[in-house]
Amino acid sequence: MTILDWFDIWLMGSSASLVFLCRYEKRSDATVGTVLFICWIYQIYETFTGSRDSALSDVLFDSILFLIVLSAGGNIMSVVVFDGLRARWVWFKSLFRWKHESE
């Protein structure tokens, strides 16, 4: 297994843990969360047994999905997701601004 495989397993496991531990208020949210949880567990199993190799695009997609789940606090159907992502994006962009640009 490569480092990409291990990192992909960690990302999917972290996302699955957040979704699993989230309390859902609506039935549709719980259904979507359960389907994603099962898909992540299956992909982790395939990657761990060597049936699936993680490419850089897999890791990138799982990283973006992890950020979405983290922003929503596990409740992926929440409207708060977009506000959380926007706040994180503004913070990320601020890391690359020069001091004179923010003035």
3-state SS string for the chain: CCHHHHHHHHHHHHHHHHHHHCCCCCHHHHHHHHHHHHHHHHHHHHHHHCCCCCCHHHHHHHHHHHHHHHHHCCCCCCCHHHHHHHHHHHHHHHCCCCHHHCC
Range(s) of the domain holding residue 82? 3-101
Q: Is this model's pTM higher than 0.75 or not?
A: no
Per the structure, the count of domains in the chain is: 1
For each of the chain's 103 residues, which pLDDT tens digit applies?
Answer: 889 899 999 999 998 998 888 777 766 667 777 888 899 999 999 999 989 888 899 899 999 888 888 877 767 766 555 666 777 778 777 777 766 555 5
